[in-house]
A = this chain, B = another copy of it.
Amino acid sequence: MVTIKDIARESGYSISTVSRVLNHRSDVSPDAKKKIEDTVRKFNFVPNNNAKHLKQNNSKAIGVLVKGTSNMLFASIVEEIQRMIEKTEYTLVVSYIDEDADEVEQAVLLCRERKPLGLLFLGGNPEHFEQGFEEVDVPCVLVTNRANKTQFESLSSVATDDIAGARCAVDALFEAGHKKIGILGGNLEKSHTSRQRFKGCKESFEAHTQEMNVDLCYEKSRFSFDSAYRGMGRLIEKYPEMTAVFAMSDVTAIGAIRALRDRGYRVPEDISVIGFDGIALAEYYNPKLTTIKQQYQILATRSVEILFGQIELKMDPVHELVPFELVNGESIRDIK
At the interface, yes or no: A14 with Cβ under 8 Å from chain B?
A: no
At the interface, yes or no: A79 with Cβ under 8 Å from chain B?
A: yes
Choose among A54, A69, A284 the residue with the greatest number of B CB atoms under 10 Å from its CB. Answer: A284
At the interface, yes or no: A216 with Cβ under 8 Å from chain B?
A: no
When chains A and B are docked, how far (Å) is the Cα of A79 from the Cα of B72? 13
Residues 209-241 of A, flagged 1 when their CB comes within 8 A of B and 0 if not, give 000000000000000011001000000000000
Contact of A225 among B57, B281, B286 (CB under 8 A): B281
Number of copies: 2
When chains A and B are docked, how far (Å) is the Cα of A294 from the Cα of B229? 23
- Considering only residues 93-112 of chain A, those with a C-beta below 8 Å from chain B are 94, 96, 112
At the interface, yes or no: A188 with Cβ under 8 Å from chain B?
A: no
Contact of A46 among B46, B112, B286 (CB under 8 A): B112
Contact of A79 among B44, B53, B69, B79 (CB under 8 A): B69
Please, which residues of chain B bring their CB within 8 A of the CB of A208?
A: none
B96 & A82 in contact (Cβ 8 Å cutoff): yes
Residues 32-70 of A, flagged 1 when their CB comes within 8 A of B and 0 if not, give 000000000000101011110110010100000000010
Contact of A258 among B50, B75, B255, B284 (CB under 8 A): B284
A49 & B114 in contact (Cβ 8 Å cutoff): yes
Contact of A226 among B75, B113, B280, B285 (CB under 8 A): B280
At the interface, yes or no: A163 with Cβ under 8 Å from chain B?
A: no
Please, which residues of chain B bring their CB within 8 A of the CB of A50?
A: 49-51, 53-54, 57, 59
B46 & A113 in contact (Cβ 8 Å cutoff): yes
Residues 247-271 of A, flagged 1 when their CB comes within 8 A of B and 0 if not, give 0000000110110010000000000
At the interface, yes or no: A313 with Cβ under 8 Å from chain B?
A: no
Give the 9 A-B CB pairs with smallest separation, nearest first.
A50-B54, A286-B286, A46-B112, A258-B284, A50-B53, A50-B50, A225-B284, A51-B54, A254-B284
